[in-house]
C-alpha cells in the first residue's frame, strides 16, 4: 500500500512541478510582452499618397533637424514649423515670381476697410520693399502686429493704406483680406500662423486625448514632420492634383485619425494582456498552493513512516 502511495506522490509531485513551471512561464512571458509592448504612432510612409512616392530611407533623414531641438522647446510648435518649412519651400518659387497685384479684397476685411482696390500693386509693407506676393506674405506674418502700413501703386498714383486689427489680434494668413493671383495649391505659413495652428491643433485634437497619450501624439507628429522636410526634394516634384501630391492639412487630419485608431487598438491589446497576466498569476498561485498541500501530505506520510518504525 505504501509503495502505491509513494508512486502516487511521486507522480503528483512531477505533475505539480510541471504545473508550477507552466504557470511561472506564463507570468514571465506576459511580463516580457508587457515590457515590449509600445504604442506605435503613424509614420509618413503609411500616408496613402507617399506610398506612391519613393521616400528617402530612414537612415538618410536629415539628422541636423533633431540636433536643433532644445529641452524647453515647444515640440508641437516645432512640428508645425516643420510643416511651414515644407509648404513654404514648395511655394517660394511661385510666390517670388508672382507680382503683388491685388486680384480681390475680402469683404469686411482690414484691407477692405483700408480701401485697398483690385489692381493695386503692393510696393512696400511697413516701409520694406515688397512688389511680389512672397514679400507681402513674409512681411505681414513675420512677427505679431495689429497695424500694417501699405504703400500701393494705383495706376500713376502712390497710395497709402493702413490695415488695422482690434486690440489683441495679430495679422496672419487668414485675416488681412488681400487676395492675389496664386494657385489654390499654394500654402504659405508665416511665423504668426505657426502659433495659431499649434493652438488650434492643441485645443481641437490633442487636449481631447487621454493626458498620458498627449506627449506620444506630439512626438509622433514631430517624427512625421521631420520626414516631410527630409523628403522635400522628392515630394515637391509631385504636381498639384496628382495622386501623390501631399497637402499638409490633409496629413494633419490623417495623422490624428490614424493615431486615435492605433491608440484604441493598443488599449484593447493592453487590456487583453493584463487579463492574460492576471490569469497566469492566478494559475501560479493555485499551482503553488497545490504544491504546498502536496508537500504537507508527503511530510505527513514521512513522519508516519518514521513513527511506525
Q: What share of the chain is helix, strand, coil (3-state, %, to 5)?
A: 60, 10, 30
Looking at the structure of the chain, the number of domains it has is 2
Q: What is the pLDDT of residue 279?
A: 60
Evaluate whether residue 301 is within a structural domain: yes
Higher per-residue confidence, 29 vs 76: 76
Instruction: Calculate mean pLDDT across residues 135-147.
Output: 91
Domain boundary among 149, 181, 213: 181
Q: What is the pLDDT of residue 110?
A: 92
What's phi and psi for 304, nearest 5 deg?
Answer: -60, -40
Q: What is the pLDDT of residue 288?
A: 59
Evaluate whether residue 45 is within a structural domain: no
Domain boundary among 181, 196, 221: 181
Evaluate whether residue 226 is within a structural domain: no
Evaluate whether residue 280 is within a structural domain: yes
Q: What is the pLDDT of residue 242?
A: 83
Quick check: 272 pLDDT over 80?
no
> For residue 184, what are the contacts with CB-CB under 8 A and spacing of at least 6?
240
Q: What is the average pLDDT score of the chain?
A: 81
Evaluate whether residue 176 is within a structural domain: yes
Quick check: 73 pLDDT over 70?
yes
Q: What is the pLDDT of residue 35?
A: 47
Contact criterion met (CB below 8 Å) for 167 and 173 = no
Give pLDDT tens digits for 219-260.
999 999 999 998 888 888 888 878 888 999 999 999 999 999
Evaluate whether residue 21 is within a structural domain: yes
Q: What is the pTM of this model?
A: 0.75
Domain that holds residue 286: 2-36+267-308
Q: What is the pLDDT of residue 258?
A: 93
Q: What is the pLDDT of residue 36?
A: 47
Separation of alpha carbons 92 and 51, rounded Å: 26
Evaluate whether residue 150 is within a structural domain: yes
Q: What is the pLDDT of residue 34?
A: 46
What's phi and psi for 37, nearest 5 deg?
Answer: -70, 130
Quick check: 114 pLDDT over 70?
yes
Separation of alpha carbons 189 and 192, rounded Å: 8
Quick check: 10 pLDDT over 60?
no
Domain boundary among 181, 205, 231: 181
Amino acid at each position: 500500500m505504501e509503495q502505491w502511495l509513494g508512486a502516487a506522490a511521486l507522480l503528483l509531485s512531477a505533475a505539480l512541478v510541471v504545473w508550477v513551471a507552466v504557470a511561472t512561464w506564463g507570468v514571465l512571458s506576459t511580463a516580457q510582452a508587457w515590457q515590449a509592448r509600445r504604442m506605435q504612432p503613424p509614420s509618413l510612409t503609411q500616408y496613402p499618397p507617399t506610398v506612391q512616392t519613393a521616400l528617402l530611407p530612414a537612415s538618410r533623414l536629415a539628422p541636423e533637424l533633431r540636433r536643433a531641438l532644445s529641452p524647453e522647446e515647444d515640440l508641437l510648435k516645432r512640428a508645425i514649423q516643420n510643416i511651414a518649412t515644407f509648404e513654404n519651400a514648395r511655394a517660394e518659387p511661385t510666390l517670388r515670381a508672382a507680382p503683388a497685384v491685388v486680384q480681390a479684397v475680402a469683404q469686411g476685411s482690414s484691407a477692405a476697410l483700408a480701401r485697398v482696390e483690385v489692381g493695386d500693386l503692393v510696393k512696400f509693407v511697413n516701409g520694406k520693399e515688397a512688389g511680389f506676393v512672397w514679400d507681402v506674405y513674409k512681411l505681414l506674418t513675420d512677427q505679431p502686429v495689429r497695424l500694417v502700413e501699405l504703400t500701393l501703386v494705383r495706376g500713376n498714383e502712390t497710395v497709402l493704406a493702413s490695415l488695422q486689427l482690434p486690440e489683441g489680434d495679430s495679422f496672419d494668413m487668414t485675416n488681412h483680406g488681400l487676395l492675389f493671383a496664386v494657385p489654390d495649391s499654394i500654402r504659405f505659413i508665416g511665423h504668426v500662423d505657426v502659433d495659431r495652428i499649434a493652438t488650434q491643433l492643441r485645443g481641437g485634437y490633442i487636449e481631447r486625448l487621454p493626458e498620458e497619450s498627449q506627449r506620444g501624439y506630439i512626438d509622433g507628429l514631430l517624427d512625421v514632420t521631420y520626414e516631410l522636410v527630409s523628403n522635400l526634394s522628392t515630394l515637391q516634384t509631385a504636381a498639384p492634383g496628382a495622386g501623390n501630391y501631399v497637402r499638409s492639412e490633409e496629413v494633419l487630419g490623417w495623422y490624428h485619425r490614424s493615431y486615435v485608431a492605433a491608440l484604441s487598438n493598443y488599449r484593447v491589446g493592453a487590456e487583453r494582456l493584463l487579463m492574460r497576466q492576471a490569469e497566469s498569476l492566478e494559475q501560479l498561485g493555485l499551482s503553488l498552493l497545490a504544491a504546498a498541500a502536496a508537500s504537507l501530505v508527503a511530510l505527513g506520510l514521512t513522519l508516519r513512516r518514521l513513527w511506525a518504525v
